[in-house]
Structure 1
Amino acid sequence: MYKQLIMPTEISIKDKKNIVKGHVNRAAIFARTKVFEVITAENESFYLIYYKNSLVYGDKLSKVEAGSFIDTAFHEGIVIEAPHPILTALIPNHSVSIPNKNKLFSQLQIHYPLDEMAYIATTLDAFFEKYELIKIIDRVYFDYRRNGSFIKAFQVIRMLNDFAPDFKSAKERFNSQEYNSYHDFYQSSSLASILKKDPLFVEHHCFQNRTHPEKRIFLENILRKQTCLAELLLLWLEKVQNTEPLDKYTDLALKFVTMKEWIFILGQMKINPYRQLPEAKPVIEKMVQEGKYETSALYLLQFIHDLPASYDPILTKVWENLSAGFVVSQLDDFLFMFQQPVHEEHTSQSEQKLFQLTVILLKEHDLKTVIEKLYPIQKLLPQSLVIQKVNKMLEMAEDPDRMMELGDYYAEFRQYDKAIDCYSWEMELQPQNPIPVKKISKMYQQKGMAEEAATYQKVYDQLKSNQRTG
């Protein structure tokens, strides 16, 4: 229902000398890293890896290998799929250049500490051979060792062991006696103590264990200190805590999206914004004032059974101005509108809308299917004349002697071709009767087929003349 409300997030990618354009199909947040999947006009998939909001690398992939970092991010990270307003806020630039692959790690070394560069290497296994990345991480390990930075060396060998568990040398070094004290420190110390020595590990650890309440809170605090507000918002949206005040996260969300988009996001999260956000009502009222009745309906329909009474005038205005075709497309949701308190004005309005719905349904379905689709409304409005007529039509369809009457009902519901079929049947049974011929002429007039209408009018005139002279 909602997809038509949000425009796709467009992006332009410069890869060597080529420029491709596409839209962000989904994104995954995984600790400090973001992965964007971009679908091009040729339906090819580009994947972009960001670290701390800076593009690290990206390329076109025909498939994502199971177990790769990209695969892990989309299975274990916080995933946002289009359409989602916050996608636009997440991607730092809508025009990017893919770095030179051969110079990538020399450039990364300039911009990041060695331990962070080693971590970044673990995120690029979709684009590089694994042995190349192992060599880079191993080199960082030995750099720290030579410089006497043993805790940093331990942190990097842990990364390498996690990244390449089959790499025997890394496993042996990680489990060697010289690192026992560091193993003990990580196992026995508090997260706050570890954070001072290894913030990358703590953030990664808390993110992977974010379902644990204590670690989730710790991660939230880290994100606040880093001013990672979009990530903080997404962390909340991933598992909404209804005990927390919505206005707190509304203030945060409005740094990235409009109130209209925030209402959309809350709707996707099954949170009723119209009960909790007073600011939501003016947004919907403005849509109605601008004549955007279908858009207003799409925003309201999900919560149509739980709207405050103050929304009744808005619903009435929307209902009065929606096309019957749109109502048919969302018929299950609109059943509520037929349940409103019955009074003369509402009954007349409901019958008018129901007539329009029936006209559309009869164009697309046979009588039996139309009755099935109208059955929920029939239960709500058993006295509806429109539905009574459709039920009568089904009875007539089984009786060859009532084709003329059935044709009249079809004509009333503007089903002129079906009416012509009924009258033609009657004309064959009573070839001297001018009445079905006159009715066929009228149907062709309604269809705008003047020549055919004139032909049947002549036949009618002849039959009437025969009756007079006979």
Structure 2
Amino acid sequence: MNHLTTITLMEKGNRKTLLTPIRMAVHSPCSILEATSSTGDLYHAYFYRQQFLAAKKITRSKRSSYLEQALTKGIVFLCPHPVVDKLVSQNETFKNRSLTDLLSFTKRRYTPIEVSQIFRCMDSLIQGDKLFKVMRDVYYDYRRDGKWGKAYSVLLTLEEAFPENQWIASTKHDASFSSYHEKYELNDESLLQHDRSTLEWKLWKNREHPVHRSVWMSSFGNDPSYSIASFSLLYEEQYLNTTEDSFSLFLDTARHHFTQHELKDILIRMADSEHSVIHQAAFRQCIRISAWEEAMTTLIHHPFDLSAQDSRNIKEAIPKVNWDNQLPIEQLSMALIPILKENKHELDSILTACIPILSKTHNLAYLVDWLKPLEKVQCNLPIYQRVQKLLKYAEDPNQQALAGELYYQLGLNREAIDSFSYEMELNPEDPSPVKWLSTLYRETGQADEAAAYQQLLQSMR
């Protein structure tokens, strides 16, 4: 697929800066896209519920900041990646905002609680005292209006940004807030109605716990503004503890949000997981869209138990793959023999399909060595016997008829024609090699030659 390689940042004075995405951290409250300019400057673009907020050129990073938290505890996608494309393709040109403009923009668009949560994410961009003032002003506004629950919510956000601040610690334990401690500590379901944004980031922060993850999905998973976060959560779950039901939901969700080629890219990225269900799905998705090289690469590096249809797909793919040094067919036997040793018919059929490809660059002695792993698993296959016999007969002038039949059985028609031609020269009265040559030329699409040998065969009767 064609990944989005650059995005345009509109700066002050309509100055354009082209940015190349490097990675994206999906986190809460804000996700962060890291990108570089053509001059090598590093930028961080902030998004809230998939809405672009602002981007800033980074000269240094602040330890224990929200940025560090997002990059270490968020769900990180390396670019290019379909999930990143999904976010930035909604608007490939982003009009940047100064922090003053951002404050005005967020105040118009979001609740004061959400504004404080958004600016909490900017702690690596804003001086600590200024950030503290913006957030504390929101707290005081709510408190003056007697909205104690909302004031407490802002305190929790302040605590995230300034965990060592004594004023926050003492204020949080004010008796006026006593009725809210347990409600927020337990993520009471009433918060879904009264303080959704705080409940969301608290659940996300503790998503390693299955209960919190489940509540997050049931509460926010169907909200379009959380669609990327929702998918990312399912994506992460496949690495942590995938199950048949979980992976089925993941695939259904992926098919809803992404194209078939994007789904292939996602599954291939996930193939470094230890879960064979992911390897299987990646292989089958590659086959589905005729991505033959990626299908075989996945199989070689991440073998899995094959169904009968998988085996048929492998045989279909083998002659269509552009085998080279990056994708060596030589490695295929090592991947297939351990997983198909109990299904000898399928294994024999697939290994036989490899022989015409291998014979283009390797001699018969190599083919014998290539099949030797069969001995280690005590798997006696016709293909191995044929190649061993062929190695014995190929250079024997008196065994060219047998060699020709073996070449034919291995799909090596050109070599079979050479053997039967030599046999015909040695035994010009024998009609058998003539009959074989007529058949071989016909099967290789050489009608004139086939007709000539058929005519010769008839004259010998």
TM bracket, shorter-chain basis: 0.5 to 0.7
Equivalent position of 1:258 in the other structure: 259
Name which of 83, 103, 128 aligns with 1:86.
Answer: 83
* 2:7 maps to 1:11: yes
Shift in Å at residue 354 of structure 1?
Answer: 3.4
RMSD between aligned residues: 3.8
Opposite residue 251 of structure 1, the aligned amino acid is D
Equivalent position of 2:214 in the other structure: 217
Equivalent position of 1:200 in the other structure: 197
Whole-Å separation in 1 of the counterparts to 2:278 and 2:97: 43
CA contact (8 A) 1:13 1:97 kept: yes
Structure-2 change in CA distance of 1:350 and 1:55 (3 Å) = closer
User: Counterparts of 1:218-367 in structure 2 under 5 Å?
Assistant: 218-227=215-224, 228-240=226-238, 241-244=242-245, 246-267=247-268, 268=270, 269=273, 270=275, 272=277, 284=287, 286-287=289-290, 293-298=292-297, 300-302=299-301, 304-326=303-325, 329=328, 331-333=330-332, 335-336=334-335, 350-358=354-362
Paired-residue identity, %:
19
Structure-2 change in CA distance of 1:336 and 1:76 (3 Å) = closer
CA contact (8 A) 1:29 1:78 kept: yes
Whole-Å separation in 1 of the counterparts to 2:346 and 2:152: 75
Name which of 103, 106, 109 aligns with 1:105.
Answer: 103
CA contact (8 A) 1:12 1:95 kept: yes
CA contact (8 A) 1:137 1:156 kept: yes
Equivalent position of 1:20 in the other structure: 17
For residues 372-420 of structure 1, what are the alpha-carbon distances to aligned partners after superposition, in whole Å with 9 as ceiling and x for unaligned?
A: xx976554488868xx99xxxxxxxxxxxxxxxxxxxxxxxxxxxxxxx
Shift in Å at residue 284 of structure 1?
Answer: 2.1
Name which of 153, 156, 166 aligns with 2:154.
Answer: 156
Shift in Å at residue 357 of structure 1?
Answer: 4.7
- More displaced stretch, 162-171 vs 262-271: 262-271
Shift in Å at residue 239 of structure 1?
Answer: 1.2
Whole-Å separation in 2 of the counterparts to 1:28 and 1:358: 47
CA contact (8 A) 1:26 1:80 kept: yes
CA contact (8 A) 1:151 1:182 kept: yes
Q: Which runs of 5+ in 2 are unaligned?
A: 376-383, 393-461
Shift in Å at residue 202 of structure 1?
Answer: 1.5
CA contact (8 A) 1:194 1:202 kept: yes
Opposite residue 48 of structure 2, the aligned amino acid is Y
Shift in Å at residue 134 of structure 1?
Answer: 0.7
CA contact (8 A) 2:34 2:42 kept: yes
- SS of 2:47's equivalent? strand
Whole-Å separation in 2 of the counterparts to 1:141 and 1:259: 48
Equivalent position of 2:403 in the other structure: none
- SS of 2:163's equivalent? coil
Q: Which runs of 5+ in 1 are unaligned?
A: 360-370, 390-470
Equivalent position of 2:408 in the other structure: none
* 2:163 maps to 1:165: yes
Opposite residue 232 of structure 2, the aligned amino acid is L
Opposite residue 15 of structure 2, the aligned amino acid is N
* 2:27 maps to 1:30: yes
- SS of 1:231's equivalent? helix
Aligned length: 367
Equivalent position of 2:134 in the other structure: 136
Shift in Å at residue 49 of structure 1?
Answer: 0.7
TM-score, normalised to structure 1's length?
0.66
Opposite residue 312 of structure 1, the aligned amino acid is S
Shift in Å at residue 314 of structure 1?
Answer: 3.2
Opposite residue 259 of structure 2, the aligned amino acid is T
